[in-house]
Chain A
Amino acid sequence: MASSGSTRKSGSGNRRPPGTGNRSAATRRSGAPAAAKPTGAAKEENGSAPERLSSEERARERLGQQRGGSKRPQSRGGSRPGKIDPRKRRPQQRSTGKTAGIFGGAFVALAVIIIILISTLSSSGTASKTITFQLATPAIVSGVTHVPASELAAAGLGGSQVSVAGAFAKPPGQAAITEDGKPVLVYEGAEYCPFCGAARWPLVIALSRFGTFSGLGTIGSSAYDVYASTHTFSFARAHYTSPYLVFLPTEFESNVCAPGALVSTGCEDYVALQSPDKKASAAFTKYDTAKYFPAAVESSGGTSGWIPFFDWGGKFVESGGLYSPGLITLGSEGSKPWLGWHPLTWSEIIKTFTVPTSGTGQAILGAANYYTAAICDITNNKPASICNTALMRQAEKGLPS
């Protein structure tokens, strides 16, 4: 009888000979009391009646069951007592196989789901289409050119999302640029450039406070560059009139990839668009260098000529924008987030202005306030209704003096 493996197994906790009552430390750690070994297995495995238990053993068993018992897998004994070597039926062997099966199956299922997802991605045209120039709708033009002063004031200077440090510089001996007696604001950028795209939003807002735009177009930045397809405006066909300043924009290149320049890794060159004015070109060549913008030049790989570039009437220059394009590009996801976000639409961006104390709205309006202050600086604080405010004075302190 004593040689029956199944009996031994089922009764290991109950038939322990005197002096062997202490189980191993590892077993105790498992939280499965010895008495929890189910005796029912004995019935199941050899069909014999369970042995009689002492009252102490029964108490131990009950205690074990009250504590949750053991859910460990029990080894099945053979039907022929005395023929089974316990080494051949160690419980973890079956458990390991079962667990591996469960997780292996789950992994295969996950892999299949992933393959389906990726197939969906590749078939749904993940290579974004270039958003080429379209005349902005009246609603978009109105939304960006008539931002309520209250929202601009509420945005302040954009909080931590907007930084002028390193973006503005005041080169010594910078020549003033004027036209018809008015200061000239030079802008040099390109339609494909996402940083230019981010900068155009506050620039349009700020300039609209001093004059009137026409011919504003909507475009997306390059579909093949960082912050792909950032929704923005193009100045390529825009006209701006103001009694206070002249706006001289240049979009060097479009967002359309040049013939033969689209390679597997992206677009290597874009269709040329506009040539810069001589004055603008001279300022760009002279000031958009590592000497004035060391951080920007370093981050661009050691080359000069980072865009967007601004010459604020010869008072100071700016290279790069004041906030990350990610703030207006990342974040609008549909019902299938694993398929990626969709760039915020123009309407969605304009809608963020109504929440000027956080996020995208605060960044754009805060940057617009800095640009407004810069324009005030070159127009000698005209008009006073815009320039003589506490917010403008605060913003001017952040600009190089």
Chain B
Amino acid sequence: MTRWRPIAATIISLLGLAVATYLTYSHYTAGSKGVTSCPFGGGSAGSTINCGLVLTSRFSTILGLPVALYGAIFFVFMVGINLPVMWRSPSLLVARLRLGAAVAGMAMVIYLVGVELLGVHHICIWCTSVHIFQFALFMLVITGWNDTGWAASQWSDAEEELQLAH
């Protein structure tokens, strides 16, 4: 089992959680004068990058709650399930939950990027950073099945059989 993968997944989950939390906070504290602006000067007139437009668009909430809040909750879960101790867990359920969450998160990213491009016609840099974090997480998890504690326990069984065979 590699040690870097759980650590990298945890760090990326924390980064995703940080941005999603910021966007949730921004949603609820949006003032009467301004909206959340993109970093690095994005959002100038005529630019495809416009965080305010995306974050106040009709796609910015689902069932009355900001999408960012769902993202924050998702990343709280991802932080928990990507902790090294959870990667070491021999539970098949934990491994499947992690994989399922990564796939579901990636599916949500596809939906949100589609909405940005086809529905709002603008890109939000903050949102894009979260999408990149999720993509990295997805790749780490999807290629890391053999690094799970469950897989390790299976290897142990096989090794034991091998020893017995000899």
Chain A interfacial positions (CB closer than 8 Å to B): 3, 5, 8-9, 12, 15-17, 20, 23-24, 26-27, 29-32, 71-72, 75, 86-87, 90-92, 95-96, 99-100, 103, 106-107, 110-111, 114-115, 117-118, 121-122, 126-128, 163, 166-167, 195, 198, 225-228, 263-266, 268, 295-296, 299-301, 306, 319-326, 329-331, 333, 337-338, 340-343
What chain B residues lie within 8 Å of A16 (beta carbons)?
164
On chain B, the residues within 8 Å of A300 by CB distance are 33-34
The residue in chain A whose Cβ has the minimal distance to the Cβ of B163 is A20
Specify the chain A residue showing the minimal Cβ separation from B158: A90
Contacting pair A86 B162 (CB below 8 A) = yes
Closest A residue to B151 using CB positions? A92
* Residue among A8, A92, A340 making CB contact with B57, cutoff 8 Å: A340
B117 CB to closest chain A CB, in angstroms?
8
Q: Do A122 and B119 form a contact, CB below 8 Å, given A92-B151, A228-B56, A329-B56? A: yes
Report A-chain residues with C-beta under 8 Å of the C-beta of B90. 26, 29-31
B2 within 8 A of A: no
Partner of A321 from B33, B153, B160 at Cβ < 8 Å? B33
B96 near A99: Cβ-Cβ < 8 Å: yes
Task: Provide the main secondary structure of the chain B interface.
Answer: helix
Known: A99-B99, A264-B121, A338-B62. A195 touches B161 (CB 8 A): no
- Bound Cα distance A24, B163 (Å): 12
Closest CB in chain A relative to B69 CB, distance in Å: 13
B32 touches A12 (CB 8 A): no
Would you call A86 and B165 a contact (CB within 8 A)?
Answer: yes
Contact between A340 and B59, CB atoms less than 8 A apart: yes
Q: B149 interface residue, CB < 8 Å from A?
A: yes
Is there a chain A Cβ closer than 8 Å to B110's Cβ?
A: yes
A122 touches B118 (CB 8 A): yes
Stretch at the interface among B5-13, B44-52, B125-133: B44-52
Tally of contacts, chain A with chain B, CB under 8 A? 195
Beyond A24-B159, A117-B114, A227-B56, is A322–B119 a contact (Cβ under 8 Å)? no
Known A-B contacts A26-B90, A114-B107, A265-B122; A324 and B32 likewise in contact (beta carbons under 8 Å)? yes
Q: Are A265 and B153 in touch, CB under 8 angstroms?
A: no
B155 CB-CB contact with A under 8 Å: yes
Contact A26 B118 (CB under 8 A): no
Contact of A26 among B45, B110, B152 (CB under 8 A): B152
List residues of B (46-89) whose CB comes within 8 Å of A's CBs.
46-48, 50, 52-53, 56-64, 89
A86-B165, A99-B145 are contacts. A114–B110 as well, Cβ < 8 Å? yes
Complex CA–CA separation, A379 to B19 (angstroms): 48
Report the nearest B residue to A230, measured CB to CB: B56
In the docked arrangement, what's the CA distance between A148 and B151, Å? 68
Is the CB–CB distance between B56 and A87 below 8 Å? no
Give every chain A residue within 8 A of B52 (Cβ-Cβ): 226
Across the interface, which residues of B come within 8 angstroms of A127, CB to CB? 121
Mask: chain B, 13-52; 1 = CB below 8 Å from A; 0 = not: 0000000000000010011111101000000111110101
Q: Does B136 lie at the interface of the complex (its beta carbon under 8 Å from any beta carbon of A)?
A: no
Known A90-B158, A341-B58; contact A118-B63, beta-carbon cutoff 8 A? no
CB distance from B77 to the nearest CB of A (A): 17
Known: A29-B153, A340-B119. A268 touches B34 (CB 8 A): no
* 4 A-B pairs with least C-beta separation: A299-B34, A340-B58, A118-B114, A320-B33
Rounded to whole angstroms, the CA-CA distance of A209 and B31 in the bound complex is 27
Which B residues are CB-close (under 8 A) to A91?
A: 154, 157-158
Q: Are B61 and A268 in contact (CB under 8 A)?
A: no
Query: A118 contacts B118, CB within 8 Å?
Result: yes
Q: How far is the CB of B41 from chain A (nearest CB, A)?
A: 9
Enumerate chain A residues within 8 angstroms of B164, measured Cβ to Cβ.
8, 12, 15-17, 20
Q: How far is the CB of A110 from chain B (nearest CB, A)?
A: 4
| Shortest Cβ distance from residue B58 to the other chain A in the assembled complex, whole angstroms | 3
* Closest B residue, CB atoms, query A323: B32
**Closest CB of chain B to A166's CB: distance in Å?**
8
In angstroms, Cα B9 to Cα A164, docked, is: 44
How far apart are the CA atoms of A97 and B66 in the complex, in Å?
Answer: 37
